[in-house]
Amino acid sequence: MQLISFFIVLLTLMLTVPVGAATRAVTLYLDGARVESELSAPRGYLEVALPGNVQANSLRLIPLGRSEIARVEVVPARVDRRTEKEIARLTERRESVEDRLKALETREEIFLAAAKSQSGKAPRKSKTNPDPMAAIRQGTEYAIAQLEGVYRVRRKAEQELKGVDSSLAEMKKKGNVGGSVARVWLAGKGGRVKVSYLLAGAQWTPRYTFRLNGDGQAEVALFADVPSVTKGAAVSVVPARLVESTGKPLFPVAGDGSGKIKTLRLPVEKAQFTATPQSCLSFSFKSPADVSLPAGEASCFARGEYLGKVRFDGALPGEVKEVTVGK
């Protein structure tokens, strides 16, 4: 019986294709991503794991070669028992930390009220209290010391909560919690299928460097900060949203870790550089006629000197933009 169960598990693993392992190309837009891959179905059947942030009705399957898709069924992903137990353990731990934070909040309110009460007391000398100011100071210092202890414990609890949230998110992602599985049957054996779908919340973030070297040209380098979903895939970006992507250029992202997309040399129309008392720069340039520049953060340099960062609002094709940094 155990041997039969082993072979069933082995067969399931052979037929199931994890989305991470199957990814071949990811195209990132300013508001989402398109994932594409080519998968083999040696036994005429395959399963494609789809993450929870797949956009509804975005799954597309194209048969390759002489393959023919006979049937497709999308079902909720099943979470294995070990992952379920770990998620339940982390959820219980998270609730425990939240309860601790609520209790600390109550303690903080109590000691804050005590400190205010002590500091607001009118000093009254008596036989049993010959030095009222000393008693008030002692009560106030005690309340403040208790508050400091509450703040220390709360800071540790907040850090613990962040760690639990991170572990919980990673476990849910690993177990494809909230995701689904596309079951695909092909007519015949040995077929291949091209799979594509859209992801929400996996967009790229533009980033620039503007360099002026006094030769009348601005060297504009465009970079892409990309999400972790692109790991192990060929990555390209489109400087537009999904609904605007038709006809927009596709830029491959450098695989050296820099994220560089494109470098442009654009004529500077106006430039004013002030070296003292603190370097600042103001210049304008005309964007290329064939491509739009999306908005993003820009680091500025003049003759090699770093002048700071500015928010670049982006530019339409052929639009003149002014940049000021250092003021």
pLDDT band at residue 295 under the 50/70/90 scheme: very high
Q: Which of 14-18, 112-116, 199-203, 224-228 has the lowest mean pLDDT?
A: 14-18
pLDDT band at residue 281 under the 50/70/90 scheme: confident
pLDDT at residue number 12? 36
Q: Which residue has the higher pLDDT, 134 or 185?
A: 185
Q: How far apart are CA 226 and CA 207, in angstroms?
A: 11
Q: Which residue has the higher pLDDT, 277 or 72?
A: 72
User: What are the two backbone dihedrals, phi and then psi, of residue 38, each rounded to the nearest 5 degrees?
Assistant: -115, 125
What SS3 string covers the chain?
A: CHHHHHHHHHHHHHHEECHHHHCCEEEECCCCEEEEEEEEECCCEEEEEECCCECCCCCEEEEECCCCEEEEEEEECCCCHHHHHHHHHHHHHHHHHHHHHHHHHHHHHHHHHHHHHHHCCCCCCCCCCCCHHHHHHHHHHHHHHHHHHHHHHHHHHHHHHHHHHHHHHHHHHHCCCCCEEEEEEECCCCEEEEEEEEECCCCCEEEEEEEECCCCEEEEEEEEECCHHHCCCEEEECCCCHHHCCCCCCEECCCCCCCEEEEEEEEEEEEEEECCCCCEEEEEEECCCCCCECCEEEEEEECCEEEEEEEECCECCCCEEEEEECC
The reply to whether the predicted model has a pTM over 0.85 is no
Provide the edge-to-edge strand list for the sheet that holds 69-76. Answer: 16-17, 45-50, 180-186, 69-76
